[in-house]
């Protein structure tokens, strides 16, 4: 049986992943309104990734026969100074999500729950990628400086982000 504190943290993580999707949807709206359609597309792909993450945590709770408790999703930030501000907020958010997953890992270890520890490995690796994606784009924004041509090029590049495969990891069956 899963320890109550692990179950609580995993339930909270569903909410955090759904909030992530909501935040990226808000960022997509800002990018679209400010004339960055490629960045808006990149954010929309991110929304799908986040919904996928939420579904994986949800599926795991069901597999372990743990009651799912869904709470209200908070209102995401909607105002950003510029493109750098949007992706800086994305990176800061991903760092918070990484810390949250690391904390679940710590609790699972404390409560001797190797099933959850093992399940979290995929998410821990995923967070390395999530942080790197935002950081790489921030580096490019820095290189572009305030040059509209540079930002336009970057926006075109972000328009090419492919649809996520969303293949459940083998553990998700
Ligand atoms: Fe779910 O990884 Fe981003 O937040």
CA distance 137 to 153: 12
45, 50, 91, 122: residue to mutate for ligand 1 pocket, most atoms within 8 A of CB: 50
Domains of the chain: 4-70+78-159 (1.20.1260.10)
In the chain, alpha helices (H): 4-33, 37-63, 83-110, 114-144, 148-158
16-36 core/surface letters (b: 16 or more CB in 10 A; e: else): bbbbbbbbbebbbebbeeeeb
What per-residue confidence (pLDDT) applies to 146? 75
Give the Å distances, CA to CA, from 110 to 66, 86, 117, 125: 19, 36, 10, 21
> How far apart are the two ends of the chain, measured CA to CA in Å?
21
- The string of pLDDT tens digits covering residues 93-134 is 999 999 999 999 999 999 999 999 999 999 999 999 999 999
Q: pTM for this one? A: 0.96
Q: Considering the chain, what percentage of its residues have pLDDT values greater than 90?
A: 92
Question: How close is the Cα of 39 to the center of ligand 1, in Å?
Answer: 17
Who lines ligand 1 at CB under 6 A?
A: 17, 20, 50, 53, 94, 97, 130
* b/e burial code for range 67-101 (CB count within 10 A of at least 16 → b): eeeeeeeeebeeebeebbebbbbbbebbeebbebb
Band the pLDDT of 173: cuts 50, 70, 90.
very low
């Amino acid at each position: 049986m899963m320890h109550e504190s692990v179950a609580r943290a995993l339930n909270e993580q569903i909410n955090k992943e759904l909030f992530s999707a909501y935040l990226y949807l808000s960022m997509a709206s800002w990018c679209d309104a400010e004339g960055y359609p490629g960045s808006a597309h990149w954010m929309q792909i991110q929304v799908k990734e986040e919904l996928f993450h939420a579904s994986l945590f949800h599926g795991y709770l069901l597999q372990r026969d743990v009651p799912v408790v869904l709470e209200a999703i908070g209102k995401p930030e909607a105002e950003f100074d510029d493109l750098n501000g949007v992706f800086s907020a994305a990176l800061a958010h991903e760092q918070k999500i990484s810390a949250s997953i690391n904390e679940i890992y710590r609790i699972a270890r404390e409560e001797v729950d190797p099933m959850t520890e093992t399940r979290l490995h995929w998410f821990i690796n995923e967070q390395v990628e999530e942080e790197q994606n935002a950081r790489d784009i921030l580096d490019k924004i820095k290189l572009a400086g305030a040059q509209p041509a540079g930002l336009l090029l970057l926006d075109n590049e972000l328009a090419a982000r492919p649809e996520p495969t969303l293949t459940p990891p083998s553990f998700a069956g």
